[in-house]
Chain A
């Protein structure tokens, strides 16, 4: 089973600060996704990334968010100016191919104060 790590596991930041969340798949994957889960709520899709570009994004993924794969391995989610409501668990997921199961990372808990 492919392994996915995420760093940091927990980040506390002040409102208005920029944060970068990292996802590191151990093996080569084509499809990357970010999801978030606000405490006590359901998981929500943010963005999917394929072939080094965004393939789909949700309404949540506004101009404050961006994703990239800067060095061909790490997959990052950047929030430019954090808001209190960005506090959530952020999950990265990967698939090798289209139409197969996703593998989730352990998540990064972001707390905006």
Chain B
């Protein structure tokens, strides 16, 4: 069983749409990361959360520790948002970098 599950696996949206990507995890965590992987393979860190909500530009990340669930929202989506979005968690007691990764959600935003 995967410790980090993301949904949907694939998502196609029209430019301007509001997008939500979900992440559920089964372990106790000390932090959750949202990452963006570009078609060329490079990975960019978007957010690190341990509680509540964070916002950066058109991106919003929320986490509900009790429900073991996090969401990544993209407002006013744009074709340049097309990428794979990855949720990763650091389990409680785990070292700094020992992240457990989800399989990713592939987002395609059409003009």
Contact = CB atoms under 8 A, between A and B. Distances in A.
Given A42-B103, A98-B96, A103 B45 contact: yes
Interface in A22-79: 31, 33, 35, 37, 41-45, 48, 50, 55-56, 58
Contact of A102 (B33, B41, B95): B33
B43 A48 contact: no
Interface in B74-89: 86, 88
Given A56-B98, A95-B96, A42 B104 contact: yes
B43 A33 contact: no
Interface residues of A, number: 28
A102 B45 contact: yes
Interface of B: 31, 33, 35, 40-45, 47-48, 86, 88, 94-104
Nearest to A33: B97
Label chain B's interface by main secondary structure.
Answer: strand
B59 to A, nearest CB: 14
Contact of B45 (A31, A89, A104): A104
Interface string A95-111: 10011111110110100
Contact of A104 (B42, B98, B101): B42
B86 A101 contact: no
Contact of A106 (B42, B95, B101): B42
B97 A93 contact: yes
Contacts of A45: 97-101
A33 B101 CA distance: 14
B56 to A, nearest CB: 11
Contacts of A95: 96-97
